[in-house]
């Protein structure tokens, strides 16, 4: 299964990584990932970010949009901030 990692900093200042496993389901591309908010961490469900594939764009462009969605989830979560290095 394809994966990628996003480098983040936790609230204590320690470097960490959000691991995302990428797969397709129907016409959607899904990234199952570590929880990025207290609510997601407490949930019994696996955290994920989902995007409907736009067939007018390439796979790379759809993956870039998914990455942007994941980064937004991290920024709006309360556990991490992204390291843009």
The domain segmentation of the chain, as residue ranges, is: 3-82
| pLDDT given at position 2 | 83
| pLDDT given at position 54 | 96
Residues in the chain, pLDDT under 70: 85
pTM, entire model: 0.90
| pLDDT given at position 83 | 87
Give 11-16 contacts, CB < 8 A, sequence gap 24+: 11/78, 11/79, 11/80, 15/83, 16/80
């Amino acid at each position: 299964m394809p994966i990628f990692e996003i480098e983040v900093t936790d609230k204590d200042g320690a470097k960490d990584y959000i691991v995302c496993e990428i797969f397709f389901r129907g016409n959607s591309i899904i990234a199952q990932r570590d929880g990025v908010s207290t609510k997601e961490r407490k949930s019994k469900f696996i955290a994920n970010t989902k995007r409907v594939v736009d067939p007018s764009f390439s796979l790379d462009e759809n993956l870039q949009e998914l990455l942007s969605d994941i980064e937004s989830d991290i920024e709006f979560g309360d556990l991490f901030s992204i390291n843009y290095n």
